[in-house]
Structure 1
Amino acid sequence: MKSRCFWVSDSKLYQEYHDNEWGQPVYDDETLFEFLVLETFQAGLSWITILNKRENFRKAFNNFDYEKIAKYTESKYLSLLQDAGIIRNKLKIKSVIANAQLFMQVQEEFGSFSKFIWSYVEGKPIINKFHKREEVPATTELSDKISKDLKKRGFKFVGSTVIYAYMQAVGMVNDHTTECYKYPK
């Protein structure tokens, strides 16, 4: 049996996410936006809840197409509030629409969201060397800095904890613990 990070349960979905996505560097804007949406909805909930609803989110939010989401009307917003397949939080749904618009502004300014977000780590993942659960932080000075920058730009639901989880998900930091088979040797 493979030795995985402490947070991975017996759930096949969780194991597949851990083994194939979590901590893998993501440089394409489409996937970076998808994780921004998913982390927004995860705030205050468990990640497995979000993973279980991921395909529902994909369907509800036009395959995470930020250009389409940025143009959502009030009627689309109201229909999302009725969608039992997703988390029906008014503020989070509104923030996804606003964040899509802001995401495109960042693309315009930097050429891509990827260039902007990865510039914080000079384009390469930070490889941490954590052995135990207690060592893995919920926030860092860097997640504080990115969070402040995004908030200044108008992004919502981008607190430091959300941003650190985002950094882990998109591989900006590699927090696979040292006993995990995914830890870079």
Structure 2
Amino acid sequence: MSTPYEQWLAEQARERLARLQAARPAAYRAPGRLHPAIAAWADRIAAGEYGNLVIVGNLGVGKSWSLWAVAERVVGAGFRGRVQVTPAALLRRMLTPPMDRAGLDRMSAAGLLAIDDVGSVRISDWDSDGMAETLDPRYEGHRPTIITSNQLDLRSLVGERTASRLAHHVTIVQMAGADRRRAA
């Protein structure tokens, strides 16, 4: 029999998962199978380990779908931190002067931060510096970050400093296959 505190924790976990599922874009709600390496990463994070995840692959192979699925898996397994999924285009707007410092601080403080489609928008040196300011505290606090991109060379996308921090305890998953959107 569980204690009232354990029951409360379970209810909180169900509510967090329901909010995350409600926020998942309709385009990524179709059922699917999570890549085994991504599922294993999620299980390690839910168990309290630290690590970053980089999902790389061609257009339409399921990177964004996987990002949402892994976030739900982590939360469903009891992860208590706040999860924030941010498209790279929104991050780019937040970094553009005048910077949205409050929004960037929320990203920095999230228990799990996922940035989708890095490389889909051009990141200037200014943006790279702002991104480093946002991701440095995550690295220092061992808060996991997920990045999806079409390119494996993150240094050219986010700058040397940020790429180095993301590489710390990183799991890189390269997804292959045809563009699923073109097959429909």
TM-score after normalising by structure 1: 0.30
Looking at secondary structure, tell me which structure has more strand per residue. Answer: 2
Give the alignment's TM-score, normalised by structure 2: 0.30
